Amino acid sequence: MTYKLAAYAAAAAFAALPISAQDLSIATGGTGGVYFPYGGGLGEVISRHVDGATGSAEVTGASVENVALISRGDSDLALALADTVYQAFHGEGAFEGRQVSELRALASIYPNAVQIVTVEGSGITSLDDLRGQRVSVGAPGSGTEVSAQTLLAANGITYDDFDPQRLNFNETADALRDGDIAAGFWSVGPPTSSIMNLATTRDISIVALTEEQIAAAVEVEPTFAPYTLRAGIYDGVAEPVLTISTPNVLIAHADMDEELVYNIVKAMYENVDELIAIHPAANDTTVDFSIDSTPIPFHAGALRYFEEVGATPQAHQIP
């Protein structure tokens, strides 16, 4: 059986199960980011508010791996960055030659802010200062690495210009604390626990981007948008910091049961206060944010909910 046929067969088998039998696997990311607690919260919302279904978060390598898990039918729901989702759906970038056209969105849930963190004494105050340094660009296959590469390349910086380290969020924080790297990339909903914990032991700063650097990145990757980290978001960050962000998208296979998807989306939006209690990033989990930000078509079950609440999806969001 071919790769694509196997994925469809797995999804079809999933859809054929009675709803009462469905225990949903939610692919997230590492424990130091937002995906894991958000996914855990979503699992709790599903378990409480979707009859006959339960959900549980699974630790993964994040966006790129999560797209593959959905395509293969190895996970039921997943969180992934919009740029990764867009590239997979269109067969571009990291997914050239292996298009995943069966991806569908349930929602865009919050924006990921690119946070380039360094510590006192590193001498790094700008993007160009990363040249010649030892820098973590995120875990292999993660959305953080995709965003880091895109941002850097758009501004004339490649991996040949510095010593790249592919570390997850917790490993990046530990390496900064121990002086093993000079800076590290996070692409995650702020505030995130791994940076918060680092800031309790070391004096940190976050490298600001210029408007020109942001414009260059947006020209290359249209899913990027300017974003300002608020003053005081972490200990030692006294002023607002201009950076870029990418929406995070909740995805599933196109063959997932429409009624189940409708009930998941309805439960998520109507009980978002439960997600906010777990992580403040969920303050951006709104219908308006989904309609404004989602780069691929919505699942039929999500479209049904949006129609019910009077929202109008964009043309590219309709299969």
Confidence category of residue 293, pLDDT binned at 50, 70, 90: confident
Q: How many Cβ atoms sit within 10 Å of the Cβ of residue 106?
A: 25
Where in the sequence of the chain do the CATH 3.40.190.10 domains occur?
A: 3-111+248-317, 112-246
CATH of domain 3-111+248-317: 3.40.190.10
Q: Which of 231, 234, 227 is nearest to 289 (CA)?
A: 227
* Superfamily (CATH H level) for 112-246: Periplasmic binding protein-like II (3.40.190.10)
Q: What is the pLDDT of residues 143-184, one digit of tens each?
A: 899 899 999 999 999 999 999 999 999 999 999 999 999 999
Do residues 151 and 243 touch, judged by C-beta distance below 8 A?
no
Report whether pLDDT(13) > 70.
Answer: no
Report pTM.
Answer: 0.71
In the prediction, which pLDDT does 14 show? 43
Q: Which of 234, 66, 64 is nearest to 149 (CA)?
A: 64
Do residues 319 and 104 touch, judged by C-beta distance below 8 A?
yes
Do residues 271 and 49 touch, judged by C-beta distance below 8 A?
yes
Question: Exposure of 20 by Cβ count < 10 A (0-12 exposed, 13-18 middle, 19+ buried)?
Answer: exposed
Average pLDDT, the chain: 91
